[in-house]
Structure 1
Amino acid sequence: MKAIQTRPQQGLDGLTLVDLPDPGDPGPNASLAAHKALGSIMRARLQVYAALSAFHHRKNGVAAQEPSAIEQIPA
């Protein structure tokens, strides 16, 4: 067995997930058809993801937009 060593992650400095920008649709619904969510719990999660995304866009005053080029995805 080998130990993995990592550096501490930079903190959010008081920010919460609600304050962070929405990176698009990172949920399981943005996957290949073969990897789509199954079951009632996953279907409920998809509704939560959609509601959270809508909240972020409303709060930030921006329209939902899917990236059309790799350069548009934040690093």
Structure 2
Amino acid sequence: MRFADIPWPVLPPELSGRLRGWEEGRKDKLRETMLRFHPDKFEGRILKLVAEDERETVMEAVGIVVRVVSGLMGDGK
């Protein structure tokens, strides 16, 4: 598995105005993403499947995801 094979939680700008139901399910979606990308769990389940030369980059990206999602969970927006 390569970095590009991981389904990173991103939203293309052209879709940002099309989200429906985001506010209703926001908390659940953020929690689900946090659980999916929790560094310890991610490392145990997924990292072993990632090409060795990309593991460090993948874990850096996982850290970024967790920080951003934590911020979104904390700001209530």
Larger Rg: 1
Greater helix share, 1 or 2? Answer: 2
TM-score by length of 1: 0.40
The higher-RCO structure (CA 8 Å, 6+ apart) is 2
TM-score by length of 2: 0.39
